[in-house]
Structure formats: C-alpha cells, structure tokens
C-alpha cells in the first residue's frame, strides 16, 4: 500500500458539546427525551450517502484528499493533492462547499517562491474556525535542494488564500533538512497547533510541533520521544494526529522506534504552549511483541481540555502475522488507560483477515466516528466507517464508491469532520474505471 494511503489524519479540531465520559449518558438521555415527545430515537451511527468524485484543477488527472474541516452550518474545506498530466508534477489543492450541498471545483495553492520547478507539493491537512477563516499545512520540494521537502502553511481570509509560506523549524534541525507539516488543529481563530517532521542534526526523523498564539506562530520545537526511544541517530518519530481544545493546549499522537527496534505509539501534551516529553502507549492484548511489534495512533480528538480525549490507532496482531487491527483509547478526567482496546470492524464482504485501518476521527455530540479502509473479499480495499456511541463501537459500514469507480475501486478514506450529530463529511480517494486515483467526498446525516 502506498505510504500516502497509510498516513492520517484527522485530527482533531473538534469541539464537543458533551464529554466522552458522559457520551453514553447523553445519548441515553436523548433517546428518552425523543421517546417522550413521540419522535424516533437518534441513530447510533452516521448514514453515509454514496461518495462522489470532485472536479480537479485544470490539467489534473489524479487526485487525493487528505484533510477536511467543517464549521457550523456545514461549511467545509478540504485539502489534498493532484497530479498534472503534462508534467507529472504533484501540486497542493483545496476545495470548498461554501456552506452548500455542492462542492466548487478545486484550485491549486500558490506555493512559496522557493519551490522547485517540480514541487511535488501536498496540502496534508486543514483547520477552519469559520467559513472564512482556515489554515492549511503541507509540504513541497524546494529549489535549493530539489530532492528535499520543506513545510508550508497557507491562510484563508474571506474568500482568498494567501501564498503558502515556510515555517521556522526547531533549532536542532539539520543543515540540509527534509521537513513536512502534516496536521493542524485550531481552538479558535489565531490559536492553533501544528505537527510535522524534519531531519535533526543527529540525522533522525523527528517530530516538530508549532503553536500559534493570537495569530503569531512560534518557532517549532522538538517533541522528545518516550524514555525507551532509540538512541540518537536511531530514532524515528512520526506524528499522525493533533487536537487543540484550548489556546496553547494540545495533544499529539503518532509512533516512534524503541531501543529494541519496535514501533510503538506515543502521545504528547502541550500546556500553555510548552510540550512535555512524549509518553509510550500500550498496545491491546494480542499485539505482536518483539522486533515485529508495530503500533501507532492515527488520530485524536479532545473536549474542552486535554484531560478528556479519544484516540484511535492501528497495530500488528499476533493472530495473523503482518495483519493489521484497530484499537481505541479513551482518556477520562486526565487518566489514560495503560493500554488500548481492540475493536473489529467487519462490513459485509470483508476479507479474512479484514486488515482494517482507521485514519480520521471526529467526535460530535454524543459519540465519535472514524474513517479509513479495509480489505475486500476478492481483492481491493473499501472505504470504512466506524461509530462509537452509547458507550460502545457500533457495526462498521462501508462508504460506497462513486458511480465511476473501477470494479475494485481501492477506496481509502483519509479524514472526517462533523458539525452536528452525524452531520459529517469524509474525504479520501478511489480508483476510477480509467485506472486513475481520484479524490472523493462522502456526506452523512
């Protein structure tokens, strides 16, 4: 599977009206009130409509959406990448629905003037605080070292996107670094957090964290891996998700390499803009141990503070070697469980083993929804949706391919955002009948 299709999401910009700790109570109360009024109880999971492809910028032949952010009223902006047929170059793009039901054609972002002639750019994630205020992060190849990446951020003000600009990387960056920005979350306008990677002066792939306060981004800082992380020169720390429920207060999740060569999940927290050392997260029972161990967190979402958060990830099981499984972790009142809990999504037509992966996470009032992909019996992968409500994971659902999808559409959902109970948008990509990867959007109610 292409590494782009393994990376997450999502993120993490969501503000819940109830805490996860009281989600089951809230859902139960909602059912009781609805019943007393003679109305049907709220559904336990989203009802997804068939996915639709999007119109790429002029000259685009392939595309993939990686991030989405929706504000109240269903105003959504998505970010991703597209490939031009004439040059084979990849460019960053954004697309908006303007608060309506139809999506406007996607358009390319203006890259920094230091970009290489073949920039291979990607808009990895987007966070919006209103229909007219968003920020998007990503990466591009730069002219001075055209085989290396640099990180960028661009801002939407009103209806106009600024030219993307670079960020100030951590002080311990390498002389010739290779940097990305992959996730962003905003507590309010001008108060955001972002994550990425860079090569440090020891040659390690490291995680960089950035905090914006009142519209000003501080220089990035290095998130120190957990105490059992590999020695300098042998570290590999990658972030996959961030949630910033309040200004300067964020939770980051991802994976790192241990001294023994295992790949394990981590979480790290910033308080008032200061990042603490990352902490190891235990994998569920049944995970492979030893040199074959692999696990990560792909997404996290917190309430009004960093003491109540929900995270989802993936790990390698011992039952079927090299088979993927998914798990979740619920933090309540500042207490994280010692290890995650496995759950097993299995839509109709699932292969055995299903090899699922969850990428994006959104937690509207009363529960959470996560999206990703799973293996389909007979070949290919399908878009996956799982919902957590009433204190438990509901039966998984397949997100249906667009009408022009190939027989094995190889659909992968990358991110999801909601503005109400199960009023959500999920984004990703699929393979069309011409054999091209295309960007797609699916909505639910």
Q: What is the pTM of this model?
A: 0.90
Q: How many CB atoms lie within 10 A of CB 68?
A: 30
Residue 39: per-residue pLDDT: 55
HSE of 434 in the Cβ direction (CA atoms, 13 Å)? 5
Residue 242, CA distances (Å) to 10, 87, 270, 397 in order: 8, 34, 11, 25
Residue 352: per-residue pLDDT: 78
How many whole angstroms separate alpha carbon 133 and alpha carbon 141?
26
Measured in degrees and rounded to the nearest 5, phi and psi for residue 56 equal -75, 160
Give the position of tokens 């503005």: 419
How many whole angstroms separate alpha carbon 208 and alpha carbon 206?
7
Residue 319: per-residue pLDDT: 67
Q: Yes or no: say if 182 and 197 are a contact pair by the CB < 8 Å rule.
A: yes
Q: Yes or no: say if 204 and 233 are a contact pair by the CB < 8 Å rule.
A: yes
Residue 3: per-residue pLDDT: 36
Residue 36: per-residue pLDDT: 34
Cα 62 to chain centroid distance, Å, stands at 21
Q: What is the DSSP string of 250-287?
A: EEEEEEEEBTTS-EEEEEEEEETTEEPPPEE-BPPTTB
Closest CA to 66 of 388, 428, 433: 428
**With respect to CATH, is domain 3-23+48-444 assigned 3.30.10.20?**
no
Domain ranges of the chain: 3-23+48-444
Ranges of residues in the chain with a pLDDT under 50 are: 1-37
Residue 29: per-residue pLDDT: 26
């Amino acid at each position: 599977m292409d590494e782009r299709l393994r990376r997450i999401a999502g993120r993490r910009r969501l503000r819940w009206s109830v805490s996860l700790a009281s989600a089951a109570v809230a859902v139960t109360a909602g059912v009781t009130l609805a019943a007393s009024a003679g109305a049907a109880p709220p559904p336990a999971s989203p009802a997804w409509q068939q996915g639709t492809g999007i119109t790429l910028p002029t000259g685009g032949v392939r595309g993939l959406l990686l991030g989405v952010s929706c504000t109240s009223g269903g105003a959504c902006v998505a970010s991703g990448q597209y490939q031009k047929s004439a040059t084979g170059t990849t460019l960053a793009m954004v697309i908006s629905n303007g608060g309506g039901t139809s999506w406007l054609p996607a358009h390319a972002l203006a890259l920094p003037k230091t970009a290489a002639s073949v920039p291979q750019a990607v808009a990895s994630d987007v966070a919006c605080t209103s229909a007219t205020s968003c920020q998007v992060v990503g990466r591009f190849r730069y002219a001075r070292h055209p085989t290396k990446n640099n990180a960028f951020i661009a801002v939407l003000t009103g209806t106009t996107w600024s030219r993307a600009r670079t960020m100030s990387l951590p002080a311990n960056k390498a002389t010739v670094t290779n940097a990305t920005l992959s996730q962003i979350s905003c507590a309010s306008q001008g108060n955001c957090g972002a994550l990425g990677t860079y090569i440090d002066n020891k040659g390690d792939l490291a995680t960089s964290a950035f905090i914006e306060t009142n519209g000003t981004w501080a220089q990035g800082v290095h998130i120190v891996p957990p105490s059992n992380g590999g020695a300098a020169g042998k570290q590999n720390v990658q972030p996959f998700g961030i949630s910033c429920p309040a200004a300067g207060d964020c939770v980051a999740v991802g994976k790192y390499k241990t001294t023994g060569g295992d790949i394990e999940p981590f979480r790290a927290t910033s308080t008032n803009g200061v990042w603490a050392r990352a902490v190891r997260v235990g994998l569920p029972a049944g995970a492979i141990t030893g040199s074959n161990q692999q696990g990560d967190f792909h997404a996290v979402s917190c309430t009004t503070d960093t003491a109540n958060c929900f995270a989802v990830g993936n790990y390698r099981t011992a039952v079927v070697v090299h088979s993927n499984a998914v798990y979740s972790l619920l933090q309540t009142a500042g207490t994280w469980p010692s290890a995650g809990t496995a759950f097993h999504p299995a839509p109709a037509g699932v292969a055995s083993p299903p090899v699922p992966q969850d990428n994006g996470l959104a937690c509207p009032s009363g529960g959470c929804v996560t999206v990703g992909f799973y293996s389909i019996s007979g070949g290919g992968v399908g878009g996956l949706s799982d919902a957590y409500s009433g204190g438990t994971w509901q039966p998984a659902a397949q997100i249906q391919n667009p009408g022009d999808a190939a027989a094995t559409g190889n659909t992968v959902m990358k991110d999801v955002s909601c503005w109400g109970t199960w009023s959500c948008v999920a984004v990703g990509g699929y393979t069309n009948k011409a054999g091209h990867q295309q960007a797609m959007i699916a909505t639910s109610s």
